[in-house]
Structure 1
Amino acid sequence: MTLPRLFTPTSLGSLELANRIVMAPLTRNRARAEDDAPYEIHARYYAQRASAGLIVTEGSQITPEAKGYAWTPGIHSEAQIEGWKAVTDAVHARGGKIVIQLWHVGRISHTSLLPNGQAPVAPTAITAESRTYDGNGFVPVSQPRALETSEIPRLIEDYRQATRNARAAGFDGVEIHAANGYLIDQFLKDGANQRTDAYGGSVENRVRLLDEVVAAVSETWEPGRVGVRLSPFSNANGITDSDPVATFTAAVDKLNAYGLAFLHLVEGQTGGPREWPEGGLEALRARFNGSYIANNGYDRQAAIDAVETGKADLVAFGKAFIANPDLVERLRQDTPLNTPDSDTFYGGTEKGYTDYPTLEETASAA
């Protein structure tokens, strides 16, 4: 019987992957509290999942002001670089490929999480209808302040430096997080961006920050090691856009200029219904001239079908990878999956993180 293409090797920009199954970025809130650095449990967690064709790490803040949740890792200090180096070494030792997701949350933060209790930054001083995790529970996000036009070059340099740090940490590439209501998505969507300078108003202006970030990152590392994640039709973290097809058509056109490794799209609502304006998703997917990673609500058969028909080049799985370190083998064999424990998604240590059994371990215990 011919193996479905989902399980066959592929190229992704400059990367050679063992299969077309991607571990999606998954916030788990387990970084060391004192310095937001990953440590030994992160190396075990990601190494356990190294059979994925590609791992995209949990979002990692590019600067202290980019942080939005308690105990999320960063990629802006020496301790964080060293912590991530142990992770990449562990994944590479098992033959895996891993890229880090570069993250700036923008207005989705709380003053208690930020240096000197400062306000979160955003394109416009509009408070999001959203909540964040401060280490004790979920709390409403704080009122943000609008970034000054003069601050944008510094922001671009933060992304550039984070990319240098990712290279130093041994990653195979980076994914720029421009989805799910975080900073770049806030600039893209007019529900959050009401600026009157060169970064607001028209679609051309609202896609400018994305374009400048991608340019800086692609200058710092070859474009074949750079990907972008977008969520055109998602209202995650209280964000909206009046014409997402027009906005993201312009965004994809900008991305096409760089020869990126991939575009990673949240199809519909983040973690929710797969709904979008008729033909909208399909048009964006067809417009992008590189490799396309599909994400949101895929099971085994849907992923196989998407790759076989060319609707996607790769498919990303999220919660299934939390509970199934050997997800690739389980999907290949079409065997039952472990059920994730939602009580251990955020915070903690090994429980619900590195203790889910593989098929082999389950069989040995029987």
Structure 2
Amino acid sequence: MATAFDPYRLGRIVLSNRIAMAPMTRSRAFGPGGTPTELMATYYAQRASAGLIITEGVQPSIVGQGYPDTPGLHSDEQVEAWRTVTDRVHEAGGAIFAQLMHAGRVGDATLLPGELTPVAPSAVTATGEMYTREGFKPFGTPRALTETEIVQTIEDFAQAARNAIAAGFDGVELHGANGYLIHQFLSTNANQRTDGWGGSIEGRIRFAVEVTAAAVDAIGADRVGLRISPGNPLHDIAEDDLDLTYKSLVSAVAGLGAVYLHVMETAGQRDLTTSLRAQWPGTFILNPNTLPESTGPAELDLVQDGTADVISYGALFLANPDLPARLIAGGPFNDPDRSGFFGGDHRGYTDYPAMT
């Protein structure tokens, strides 16, 4: 019977364990042109004992940026800077995927050059506020993508996937969760299109499927994963026909041979999680819902009982760079410092102590 501390083959690489570091936006890409810094390399290398590191969201294009000081993978300078990060992680014995995240309508227009504005499936303003350099501000109204622009956006994801491999990443995760662009296309309130990219379930899942297909064609199915969060209302997302939508999506993506499905579980959706697990033929990564607590040692049993192949940890990995060792020992665990979550310097970022 497998445990979370056993090695695991993921496509062409072997993970040292079945504990993943979940993607977490930290807004510290202070290098020129949205490039990673030496501090970011230190942060990821500190956490290389994870079986798999999945980076913070990385924008595949200029217009895909949503938050201040997030990194990109759409320029030569960004590729070169990321190579420092991946080299450091690999030197420490780790494996690392880049999460490709287009923020869509969840974006601050002041971050974009010229006359660029945030884009989305439809020109629908999200209710709520978003993080900006000036604090939290109401969402703006996005511009609806044209069909030509949708096709170009799909190619942007594919090119970013190629750039990720050039930068030394072991693969990419496509961010189809948490109310960002791919999730917006899945949504029945954010996506009000009446063409082939909306309306029916087939239309609403089309963008996610075609982005995945393009990434698979670009770098190989064994290097591409997809993250979803069924039923997650974050950033004013509503999803009618939830079960059928995600079963249809998972069936289509499974047919492309993607190496993993990463489910960020929403409260009350364990039955759907279990159903998707049974449906998915490849590696199933689960970020289990444990709110209001962080995912902790008890969730390791989800590997042993077969609920998931790999368990991903967010806040606990943020605060404990040596998390697998701490999980083996049963603790103790550092508490996350929320004041250092977004932006800032090394404090609340690379200064969490390892066990002695």
TM range (shorter): over 0.9
Amino acid at match of 1:79: E
For 1:4-33, what per-residue CA distance to the aligned partner results, in whole angstroms no more than 9, with x for missing partners? 710110111222100000000010000116
Q: Distance in 2 between matches of 1:107 and 1:130?
A: 12
Secondary structure of residue in 2 paired with 1:213: helix
Secondary structure of residue in 2 paired with 1:88: helix
Quick check: 1:173 aligned with 2:144?
A: no
Q: Distance in 2 between matches of 1:92 and 1:301?
A: 26
Please name the residue that 2:329 is paired with: 333
What is the identity percentage for the equivalent residue pairs of Structure 1 and Structure 2? 47
Secondary structure of residue in 2 paired with 1:5: coil
Shift of 1:152: 1.6
Q: 2:94 aligns with which of 78, 93, 96?
A: 96
Shift of 1:85: 0.4
Shift of 1:325: 0.4
Q: Distance in 2 between matches of 1:19 and 1:308?
A: 13
Quick check: 1:194 aligned with 2:203?
A: no
Instruction: Give me the TM-score of the superposition, normalised by structure 2.
Output: 0.96
Partners of 1:42 and 1:87 within 8 A in 2: yes
Shift of 1:138: 1.4
Instruction: Give me the TM-score of the superposition, normalised by structure 1.
Output: 0.93
CA-based RMSD: 1.4
Please name the residue that 2:257 is paired with: 259
Shift of 1:117: 4.6
Quick check: 1:84 aligned with 2:82?
A: yes
Please name the residue that 1:10 is paired with: 8
Q: 1:281 aligns with which of 266, 273, 286?
A: 273
Please name the residue that 1:246 is paired with: 244
Please name the residue that 2:36 is paired with: 38
Q: Distance in 2 between matches of 1:279 and 1:49?
A: 32
Q: 2:313 aligns with which of 313, 317, 331?
A: 317
Please name the residue that 1:342 is paired with: 338
Q: 1:291 aligns with which of 258, 267, 283?
A: 283
Q: Distance in 1 between matches of 2:156 and 2:34?
A: 17
Shift of 1:314: 0.4
For 1:76-132, what per-residue CA distance to the aligned partner results, in whole angstroms no more than 9, with x for missing partners? 112211111000000000110000000101000121112225321000100111322
Shift of 1:299: 3.7
Q: Distance in 1 between matches of 2:271 and 2:71?
A: 37
Partners of 1:15 and 1:224 within 8 A in 2: no
Q: Distance in 2 between matches of 1:267 and 1:153?
A: 30
Q: What runs of 5+ residues in structure 2 fail to find an aligned partner?
A: none
Q: What runs of 5+ residues in structure 1 fail to find an aligned partner?
A: 269-273, 361-366
Q: Distance in 2 between matches of 1:14 and 1:200?
A: 35
Please name the residue that 2:299 is paired with: 303
Amino acid at match of 1:320: L
Please name the residue that 1:69 is paired with: 67
Shift of 1:338: 0.2
Quick check: 1:221 aligned with 2:219?
A: yes
Partners of 2:296 and 2:316 within 8 A in 1: no
Shift of 1:359: 0.4
Secondary structure of residue in 2 paired with 1:210: helix
Q: Distance in 1 between matches of 2:70 and 2:227?
A: 19
